[in-house]
């Protein structure tokens, strides 16, 4: 049984479930590693929301990480208790952020604590399967249950012997070839996909209308529109590219040879889930080339003639390890990620050049500006302007968050409550514009109201 550590909400050390427990868990539908990861993340977040959000040890670690990753922050923002929890959480994060902004050495941002817990649980069960897969009962159950999703199956392949490795590859290859909609096989599960889709659908048409109108006026007009939108312009440029690319794939247009090439159809697990939630998306057509490539690489593992012993010591293991390199590369390839990063770089280049103009620099000084993630990573010119604008915003935000916490107390029950009670909603895009998927706090508020 999985227990929650009362000190930091992380999963306690599991007892060895034994062969029967492993076989029983594998018999359930879906990828066992994905289930364990999502269960651990859900339990950690639940413990944080209901109890651990006031624990100094946990908060110090979260503050050092400047909060959580965008996906887990979206879940916290959607939680009913967010107005009571997030002002305190963001206060510490803002304090840490301002220290880093004014420091010569920015320091490394720590990993998301929730992701750490989830990844650790997934890795634990993958290691457990690797140890038990040599037993006939576990092998039979693994085969009948359909095995793990491809990303976790690849992790499993790195820890088993040649005989078990061929079984893992055979089951994955069989599922890929026999499933018409192989989303679960190629990408596993993604609890955040529906949250991302909500933000995208809330502003989808509006974003493209603004973009097309602005670009028809001048090159810099879209940048002006972005900095006036209350969102980090680089995050907005990246997300807009993701939305447009997804729409392009969903529509599948091939007019005038403008359809996607094979390498542009390669998608990571995250974007496969995004595409699956798009209207009119033909997921089977999009993933068909990837299925052919991946299943062919898996088939090479299946037909490889092995010898006895551990893969790491035998020639067969070395050969199969070499085959895992293109397989890992094929699974990780994503044309959309490359396009989004390129859009982000182009927007940063334009911003750097535009800031050399005095009028634009004054316009930027009165805008939302870049988020903390981009300011800390900025290596171009005008970093002083970018840091000064963000630091000013964070200073006001720190005061508003403090006011919100004070006015929420019984001692301040006679004081009027205003916009400062919603300051926690404005904190996310200042820290990382990806949290609201490049949209404004108003969109996040509307999604909370509709949930």
CA distances, 218 to each of 222, 224, 225 (Å): 8, 10, 11
pLDDT, residue 62, reads 93
In angstroms, the CA 404 to CA 87 distance is 7
Structure confidence at residue 312 (pLDDT): 42
- Is 28 within a domain? no
pTM given for the model: 0.85
> Is there a domain that residue 154 lies in?
no
Q: Examine the pLDDT at 214 and tell me if it is beyond 90.
A: no
Q: Structurally, how many domains does the chain consist of?
A: 1
**pLDDT digit string (tens) for 153-195?**
888 888 887 778 888 888 888 888 877 667 888 888 999 999 9
Tokens of 134: 């040599």
Position 302 in a domain:
yes
Are the CB atoms for 304 and 169 separated by under 8 Å? no
Q: Regarding predicted confidence, which is higher, 219 or 111?
A: 111
Cα–Cα distance for residue pair 233/422, rounded to 1 Å? 22
CA distance 372 to 99: 12
Tell me the percentage of the chain whose pLDDT exceeds 70: 87
**Residues contacting 70, CB < 8 A, separation 6+:** 432, 434, 435, 437
* CA-wise closest residue to 333 among 293, 278, 280: 293
Q: Which residues contact 240 (CB under 8 A, 6 or more apart)?
A: 207, 208, 211, 343, 438
**d(Cα 409, Cα 407) in Å, to the nearest integer?**
5
Burial (CB count within 10 angstroms: exposed 0-12, middle 13-18, buried 19+), residue 291: middle
Residue 319, in any domain of the structure? yes
Note down the domain range covering 239.
193-337
Q: How many Cβ atoms are within 10 Å of 387's Cβ, its own excluded?
A: 19
Q: Is the pLDDT of residue 292 over 80?
A: no
Does 322 have pLDDT greater than 80? no
Beta strands (DSSP E) in 74-190 are none
Decide if pLDDT at 12 tops 50: no
Q: Please report whether residue 313 resides in a domain.
A: yes
Q: Is the pLDDT reported for residue 313 higher than 70?
A: no
Task: Judge whether residue 354 has pLDDT over 80.
Answer: yes
Does residue 284 register a pLDDT over 80? no
Q: What is the pLDDT of residues 420-430, one digit of tens each?
A: 888 999 999 99
Measure the CA–CA gap between 196 and 192, rounded to whole angstroms: 6
State CA 100 to chain mean position distance.
24
Asked if residue 299 has pLDDT above 80, the reply is: no
List the structure tokens of 124: 């634990």
Residue 121 falls inside a structural domain? no
Give the HSE-up count for residue 429: Cα atoms under 13 Å, Cβ half-sphere: 28
pLDDT tens-digit readout, 324-348:
777 777 777 788 999 999 999 999 9
341 alpha carbon, distance to own chain's centre? 15
- Given a cut of 50, whether residue 446 has pLDDT beyond it is yes
Cα separation, 29 vs 46, whole angstroms: 24
In the numeric block, the tokens 């300051």 are attached to 423
* Calpha distance 20→61 (Å, rounded): 37
Contact criterion met (CB below 8 Å) for 286 and 267: yes
User: Mind listing the pLDDT tens digit for each residue in 358-384?
Assistant: 999 999 999 999 999 999 999 989 999
User: Which residue shows structure tokens 């092998």?
Assistant: 139
Indicate whether 64 belongs to any domain. Answer: no
Q: What is the mean pLDDT of residues 305-320?
A: 50
Mean pLDDT over each residue of the chain, to the nearest integer: 83
Kindly report, residue by residue over 120-143, the tens digit of the pLDDT.
999 999 999 888 888 888 888 888
At 40 the pLDDT is: 96
For residue 448, pLDDT over 80 is answered with yes
Whether residue 375 contacts residue 245, with contact meaning beta carbons closer than 8 Å, is answered with no
Radius of gyration over every alpha carbon of the chain, rounded to an integer in angstroms: 24
- What is the spatial distance between Cα 379 and Cα 406, in angstroms, rounded to a whole number? 38
**Residue 270's pLDDT band (cuts 50, 70, 90):** very high
pLDDT attached to residue 48? 95
Between the alpha carbon of residue 233 and those of residues 125, 246, 281, 344, 355, the distances in Å are: 41, 20, 28, 9, 13
Cβ pair 191, 398 in contact under 8 A: no
Of the CA atoms within 13 Å of residue 131, those in its CB half-sphere come to 11
CA 347 to chain centre: 21
Token pair, residue 152, equals: 């976790």
Residue 292: alpha-carbon gap to chain centroid: 27
pLDDT at 78: 93
pLDDT tens digit string along 87-109?
A: 999 999 999 999 988 876 666 78
């Amino acid at each position: 049984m999985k227990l929650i550590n009362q000190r930091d909400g992380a999963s306690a050390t599991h007892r060895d479930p034994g062969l029967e427990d492993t076989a029983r868990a594998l018999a359930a539908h879906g990828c066992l590693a994905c289930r364990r990861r999502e269960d651990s993340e859900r339990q950690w977040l639940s413990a944080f929301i209901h109890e651990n959000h006031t624990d100094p040890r946990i908060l110090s670690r979260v503050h050092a990480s400047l909060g959580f990753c965008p996906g887990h922050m979206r879940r916290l923002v959607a939680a009913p208790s967010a107005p009571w929890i997030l002002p305190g959480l963001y206060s510490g994060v803002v304090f840490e952020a301002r220290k880093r902004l004014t420091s010569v050495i920015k320091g490394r941002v720590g990993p998301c604590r929730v992701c750490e817990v989830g990844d650790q649980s997934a890795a634990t069960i993958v290691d457990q399967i690797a140890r038990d897969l040599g037993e006939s009962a576990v092998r039979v159950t693994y085969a009948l249950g359909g095995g793990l999703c491809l990303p976790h199956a690849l992790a499993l392949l790195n820890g088993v012997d040649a005989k078990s490795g061929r079984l893992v590859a055979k089951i994955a290859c069989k599922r890929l070839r026999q499933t018409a909609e192989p989303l679960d096989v190629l990408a596993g599960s993604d609890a955040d996909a529906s949250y991302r889709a909500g933000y995208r659908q809330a502003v989808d048409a509006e974003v493209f209308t603004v973009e097309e109108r602005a670009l028809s006026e001048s090159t810099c007009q879209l940048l002006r529109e972005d900095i006036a939108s209350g969102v980090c312009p680089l995050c907005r440029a990246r997300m807009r590219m993701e939305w447009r690319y997804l729409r392009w794939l969903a529509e599948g247009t091939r007019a005038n040879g403008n359809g996607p090439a094979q390498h542009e159809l390669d998608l990571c697990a995250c974007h496969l889930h995004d595409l699956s939630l798009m209207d009119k998306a033909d997921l089977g057509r999009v993933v068909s080339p990837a299925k052919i490539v991946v299943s062919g690489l898996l088939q090479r593992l299946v037909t490889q003639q092995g010898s006895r012993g551990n893969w790491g010591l035998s020639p067969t293991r070395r050969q199969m390890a070499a085959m895992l390199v293109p397989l890992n590369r094929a699974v990780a390839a994503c044309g959309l990620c490359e396009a989004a990063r390129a859009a982000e770089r182009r927007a940063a280049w334009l911003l750097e050049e535009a800031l050399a103009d005095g009028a634009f620099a004054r316009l930027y000084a009165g805008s939302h500006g870049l988020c903390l993630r981009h300011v800390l990573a900025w290596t171009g010119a005008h970093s002083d302007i970018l840091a000064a604008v963000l630091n000013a915003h964070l200073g006001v935000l720190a005061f508003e968050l403090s006011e919100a916490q004070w006015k929420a107390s019984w001692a301040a029950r006679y004081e009027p409550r205003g916009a400062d009670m919603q300051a926690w909603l404005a904190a996310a895009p200042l820290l990382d514009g990806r949290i609201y998927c490049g949209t404004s706090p108003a969109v996040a508020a509307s999604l909370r109201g509709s949930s």
